Amino acid sequence: MERELFNDRLAVLEKLFQRSALELSEIDVPVIFDVGYWTAEHRAAALKWGRQNSLVCEMHFLDTPFKICKQRATERNSSYDSEFYEMTPQMLEMFWSWFEVPGPTEGVLRVSRT
């Protein structure tokens, strides 16, 4: 799928997620978004949306090396069924190339193995 089409589809889903999150926040249910936030601009927009809607927000970055991500995707693919999204090595490499590692001024909490 071309990046522009992917981004358009992701934007539609994110709006649905945001609407659901607002409904859930009204009944005090915590919400976790797991949509990638691949760029500094996207992360800033998500945090701004949270502030504009009076939500308490934290953003976490799971600092996992590419080698481990690839291994995990391969393991998931080996037991692939209709309930899971298949991630081919080519797809993983493409997505990885799009990701901007959060910078120190973004206020993103980095989670890594030490």
Contact 102, 62 (CB under 8 A): no
Average the pLDDT over 56-68 and give the result: 92
Is pLDDT above 80 for 84?
no
pLDDT by residue (tens digit) across 13-54?
A: 999 999 999 999 999 999 999 888 889 999 999 999 999 999
Which DSSP helix (H) or strand (E) runs through 97? helix 89-98
- pLDDT score for 24: 97
Select from 74, 106, 105, 78 the least CA-distant residue to 91. 74
Spell out the domains of the chain, with CATH numbers in brackets.
3-111 (3.40.50.300)
